[in-house]
Amino acid sequence: MHHHRDTDGALDVLVSLADPDDAGRIRERIGTSERPATRDRQRWLTTRQIASTEPRASTWLWMLEEDDPETNEIVVLLDGGLNGALELAVLDGEPFGPDEHRRVPVTDAVADRPRPEAVKRLPSDELVPALRAVTTMRQGRRTANAVARRDWSRVVEADTADPLPGYARWALALRPDCPAALRERFSDHPSYAHRMRTAGIVESPAAYVREWRSAGTVLATLDTGRWAFPTRVREAEDVLRPLVRGSLGANVEAWAVLAQLLPTFTGTVPELIVTAGAIA
């Protein structure tokens, strides 16, 4: 079989989750080679794949969570649509990963970038009163962008004590880095799922791989994610691994069916895997 480069990478995401003892035979049958373990030096080219897919806002956040200066440079300079508050955080060296006390170095290209004019940070003691005064979505977005990453705990505590106005809560939820503890409080709103999907926001890589489509697009994004956001991509791999080994296993004909279905399959990745296993 011959595959387009993106298809080859998408297939490799799944083959890499098979039992290592079976991987060689699977690759031989479907005609795909193992991807190099080193980070791709043509990162700008491969990242364009993420730039053209959804959920873009969340994939950018997962990349920022690596706290890698070169990856941050890609996110800031390539996208051009990064949330202004997140861009300001990158310019200021604020961390997105678990080490909240570190300062992330910035590359020369990022350091030379003009600061986003639309983002005006508020002093911490003024932030909650400003959020409680929100009466329009426009005002909500402006105030939500004033939240520094270090202030999220203060916002969560304020909403716990007394729920913030609706426009403020929606604007906060539409920030890709809104804490799950805050966003989940109104996830049962009828339009919640639609608003999050439209904004390019997904709960986690695990939810992304379970719910988003098409399978080829999701797998191509995960392929790039193996170097772009390796910490979070493991969550998606943990969802797929038992499906791969349970539905496909060492059955090379099932893998051949999957390779044939992948380019035009419109369903989710789990649906692709189960369908290929059933057909074979």
Confirm whether 47 is domain-assigned. Answer: no
What pLDDT shows up at residue 117? 86
Both 28 and 80 in one domain: the answer is no
Both 170 and 214 in one domain: the answer is no
Among residues 72, 96, 118, the one where a domain terminates is: 118
Both 146 and 191 in one domain: the answer is yes
Both 229 and 262 in one domain: the answer is yes
Confirm whether 46 is domain-assigned. Answer: no
Confirm whether 134 is domain-assigned. Answer: yes
Among residues 186, 201, 216, the one where a domain terminates is: 201
Could you tell me the sign of the dihedral formed by the alpha carbons of 179, 233, 212, 19, in that order?
negative
Both 108 and 156 in one domain: the answer is no
What pLDDT shows up at residue 45? 65
Q: How many domains does the chain have?
A: 3
- Residue-wise pLDDT for 140-193, tens only, equals 999 999 999 999 999 999 999 999 999 999 999 999 999 998 998 888 888 999
Confirm whether 45 is domain-assigned. Answer: no
Confirm whether 70 is domain-assigned. Answer: yes
Both 124 and 195 in one domain: the answer is yes
Query: Which residues, given as ranges, of the chain have pLDDT below 70?
Result: 1-6, 36-47, 79-80
Alpha helices in the chain (DSSP H): 5-15, 20-30, 43-51, 56-64, 69-79, 84-91, 108-111, 124-132, 137-144, 152-161, 166-173, 180-183, 192-198, 205-211, 215-228, 230-243, 252-261, 269-279
Domain region containing 11: 5-39+207-279
